[in-house]
Amino acid sequence: MVNTKAAAQGGGLRLASLNHISVVCRSLESSLAFYCDVLGFFPIRRPGSFDFDGAWLFNFGIGVHLLQAEDPESMPPKKTEIDPKDNHISFTCESLEVVQRRLKEMGIRYVQRRVEEGGIYVDQLFFHDPDGFMVEVCTCDNLPVIPLVPTPICKRAAAASKQQFTVPAVAVSDPAPAKTTGGGCVGEEVAASAMMACPEQACMQV
């Protein structure tokens, strides 16, 4: 479901969620081992009509599509320096200490950083996959999501920011449902009763 008002006003694309990232790899076998054994993804069925080697993985609500390079020798040199400002994908975790210990046990080199904002600390670990693509594991969810422009807030967005949102039951005698603006999932006028639920992937902040 999308924000139709924003689209009508020339806003962003009508997107719903992040589906997957694609990674071109020198060795499909090595990348499979890394993304499954280190990051915890699992293989899923891949369309059999593809005429090139690869693998589809899934976990944590997103997919990773591995693509075997046709000519691995022509790929850019593998990066050796771990630069936190480089392109990367980031994951949150239950315990950064456990992640750090496992990386040490597996012999995976990493760099550690800490960010402070208003007394809130975010710890970060950065490391490379077999082809030098950087992965981050962090406690970024410690920071609240503070939009810089007015945005509609829905139940799922509130839950994502660890804020509980409840709608008390109210007896309504008027047969016409009350209207509210900006309280729904897509920032449109919705009946007050419609705010009681927010189905999976049915909302978007823009």
Residue 11: band (very low, low, confident or very high) from pLDDT cuts 50, 70, 90: confident
- What DSSP line would sit under 109-144, residue for residue? -EEEEEEEETTEEEEEEEEE-TTS-EEEEE-GGGS-
pTM here is 0.69
Q: State the pLDDT at residue 149.
A: 85
H or E element in which residue 33 lies: helix 28-33
Q: State the pLDDT at residue 153.
A: 56
Say what percent of the chain tops pLDDT 90: 66
69 dihedral zone (left: phi>0; alpha: psi -120 to 50; beta): beta
Min mean pLDDT across 60-74, 117-131, 166-180 is at 166-180
| 69-124 per-position pLDDT tens digit | 999 999 999 999 999 999 999 999 999 999 999 999 999 999 999 999 999 999 99
Q: Indicate if 200 belongs to the active site.
A: no
**Mean pLDDT across the stretch 158-168?**
48
Does 191 have pLDDT greater than 70? no
Q: State the pLDDT at residue 194.
A: 35
- Per the model's pLDDT, the better-predicted residue between 174 and 76 turns out to be 76
Catalytic residue among 29, 70, 94, 136: 136
Q: State the pLDDT at residue 154.
A: 54
Q: Report the distance separating Cα 160 and Cα 149, nearest Å.
A: 18
Q: How far is CA 187 from CA 47, 177, 203, in A?
A: 37, 17, 9
